[in-house]
Amino acid sequence: MNTSTLHKTAADCAEQLPGAQLEHPFGPDWEVYKVRGKVFMLMTEVPGRPVVILKADPGEADALREQCSHITRGYHMNKKHWITAEGGEGVDRKLVEELVTDSYRLVVAHLPRAERPVDPRTYGTSRRAAR
């Protein structure tokens, strides 16, 4: 995926997630997606290159960083629980959509049950099986 489509792909995916909202709490250069007030994705440019910052399971984050040079530790976030993705070889639409959905599910799982817009254990699993 080239860098110019990274933000659009991630934003298109995030906007389809139940309860997701776009905010700009850090100014116009940062797009922050939240669910029920909790951040699950940030987008900005880091020295001229678009990046997407996402929550990730620590074990999966390690594996992703080993497999893809365009996925690194979370920029300005907890390095264990967040990753940064940028466009490049090995980063395609399917991967970006999975990373965004996984980040969303991780955040939703930590919300009180009454506030969850979806069941994080099952949301998105049928879409993955179809691929």
* Structural domains in the chain plus CATH codes: 3-129 (3.90.1150.30)
26 — alpha (psi -120 to 50), left (phi > 0) or beta? alpha
- Segment 9-33 shows an average pLDDT of 96
pLDDT in tens, 66-95: 999 999 999 888 888 999 999 988 899 999
The percentage of residues in the chain with a pLDDT greater than 90, rounded to a whole number, is 79
pLDDT in tens, 24-33: 999 999 999 9
- Which residue has better confidence, 118 or 129? 118
Going by pLDDT thresholds of 50, 70 and 90, the confidence category of residue 131 is very low
Of the candidates 42, 117, 118, the one whose C-alpha atom is nearest the C-alpha of residue 82 is 42
The pLDDT, as a whole number, for residue 30 is: 95
**In the predicted structure, residue 126 carries a pLDDT above the cut 80:** no
pTM of the predicted structure, to 2 decimals = 0.91
**In the predicted structure, residue 96 carries a pLDDT above the cut 80:** yes
HEC assignment per residue over the chain: CCHHHHHHHHHHHHHCCCCEEEECCCCCCCEEEEECCEEEEEEEEECCEEEEEEECCHHHHHHHHHHCCCEEECCCCCCCCEEEEECCCCCCHHHHHHHHHHHHHHHHHCCCHHHCCCCCCCCCHHHHHCC
Going by pLDDT thresholds of 50, 70 and 90, the confidence category of residue 46 is confident
The pLDDT, as a whole number, for residue 130 is: 45
Average pLDDT over the chain, rounded to whole? Answer: 91
